[in-house]
A and B are shown apart, each in its own frame.
Chain A
Amino acid sequence: MGKKIFLSIPVKLIAIFLAAVMFSGCASDKQRRTDEDFGLDSTEISEDLLDDIGTAKQIFYSLPSPLETAMLLKSAGATYNEELLNPVSNTSNYTTNRTMALNLGIYTTDLSFASLFDQTQTSIDYMNAAKQMADGLGILDAIDNNTIERLEENINNRDVIMDIISETIMSSSSFLTENERPALASIVLVGGWIEGLYIATSLVGDSPIEDNKLVERIVDQKLSFEWVLKLLEDNQDHPDVIAIMEGINDLKSTFDKITITTSKIQPVPDEESNVTILKSESTIRITPAIFNELSEKIRTLRQNFIS
């Protein structure tokens, strides 16, 4: 492990100042949460664990990244349809921080989707589109010309491409978070998440929803929707977040109509592979009418985001 030295300033006085600032200045320090955040039942927990929960200094809500979203779509049997992507010709329409952040997420999801389906030229085009959004937001060095060149040089090397995309997502997110712009970082994630849902629901179209893997993945997003709301609530005073909250909140009434029931998880370690299988079963309940309602709301919201 590489040696990392933090706070090596020798003057004690300065160190005390720095400590105070450092711990009060973390960009996304959150108010301490209660157990209700996780829907926990206090009767099923040991005393030690109870002491730990809800006392954290920092709380993160993690949404599926554009790369994970694209992978989930592909593994659920999605087919590639370029017409579903936000055209790169739209980039010039986005001039505000809100629209650039939303479409940075959207273009990064489109880039991930195209890359996983080996659409080489489209991947380059969408990396350029994402670059324009990142540049517009002042995200320095997240996507530079070197990134595009590396992508072009390794366009047939899936592993390198995945690495370039994940690095791009990480650099954009960390830049915004570290520069006191967590609201925009959350908007980028929400844009990418909605794009994934839009592609998925569009691909299902009028197909039957029974025994449909893609529909199961869409239903699963009810579980991530909770984190979407928490993420935005943490930044609810920001005008750009306020501007998208109404549309996001509108999804809640539809997600609430979907039921997911899961049995108790049983961890079963596999000593040979060193992978633990978390065994459990789940049942989902959704009707074609609810699915159509969700699809329509997603389509409207996404249209609003890319307009």
Chain B
Amino acid sequence: MKRIILKIVVIAAVAFVPFTLNAQCKGFAKKICKVELTPYIHDGNYHAAMLTIGEEAELYKTFYSDTDYRISVCGSDELPDIEFRVIDSDRNVLYTNKSNDYSRIWDFRLEASQQLKIFILVPATEGLPEDILGGCVAIMFGFKEK
């Protein structure tokens, strides 16, 4: 009987937890990452993923000329500092936060509209507990009204 109950608990947990994690991810993005955009206006778009050590995400977006943008990339506490790079369509790395003390934000303005890629990596870091399964990584954009 105990084994049946345990199985039911496991199945229920498996079914329920992804939704809880997603909801937590949204809450994290809203409460932590969005705040980093201030004083820029959050554009409203929501991009978040559950990632673990060594995993990557990519985001493609067109940024428009003469607009002030802020990128905010942040990971939840159980993850190490998140690395992100901004790459142009010729594969040139325009910015990497690895060279900037893993800053969570980057402010920029383009003279001409461009398609850019934001590459995100949860780096392997020494000293982290081995049982880390993952955490939320959110990518958000803000702009300034002209």
Contact = CB atoms under 8 A, between A and B. Distances in A.
B58 A60 contact: yes
Given A162-B41, A167-B44, A174-B26, A282 B112 contact: yes
Contacts of A242: none
Contacts of B136: 4, 6
Contacts of A3: 77
Contact of B24 (A4, A13, A162, A224): A4
Nearest to A280: B112
B67 A75 contact: yes
A5 B17 CA distance: 13
A163 interface: yes
Given A67-B41, A170-B45, A27 B114 contact: no
Interface residues of A, number: 89
Contact of B32 (A2, A15, A26, A276): A2
A40 interface: yes
Contacts of A143: none
A208 interface: no
Contacts of B139: 60
A22 B50 contact: yes
Nearest to B140: A170
Contacts of A267: 94-95, 108
Nearest to B47: A60
Contacts of A223: 62, 113-115
A243 interface: no
Contacts of B108: 267, 275-278
Interface string A185-208: 000000000000000000000000
Interface string A215-242: 0110010011011001000000000000
Interface in A155-176: 158, 162-163, 165-170, 173-174
Interface residues of B, number: 81
A159 to B, nearest CB: 8
A116 interface: yes
Nearest to A3: B77
B29 to A, nearest CB: 8
Contacts of B125: none
A41 B88 CA distance: 11
Contact of B90 (A13, A44, A178, A260): A44
A68 B143 contact: yes
Contacts of A33: 58
Given A2-B31, A223-B62, A276 B95 contact: yes
Contact of A6 (B9, B24, B87, B111): B24
A19 B53 CA distance: 13
Nearest to A18: B17
Instruction: Give the one of B48, B91, B93, B109 with max A CB within 10 A.
Output: B91
B138 to A, nearest CB: 10
Given A6-B136, A71-B145, A265-B92, A280 B60 contact: no
A263 B83 CA distance: 27
Contact of B91 (A19, A25, A44): A44
15 contacts: A1-B77, A7-B133, A18-B133, A21-B14, A61-B60, A71-B67, A166-B42, A166-B43, A166-B44, A169-B44, A169-B45, A174-B26, A276-B106, A276-B107, A279-B111
Given A18-B133, A278-B94, 15 more contacts: A6-B135, A21-B14, A22-B21, A22-B50, A44-B90, A53-B58, A55-B56, A60-B47, A162-B41, A162-B145, A173-B45, A178-B26, A217-B64, A264-B90, A278-B110
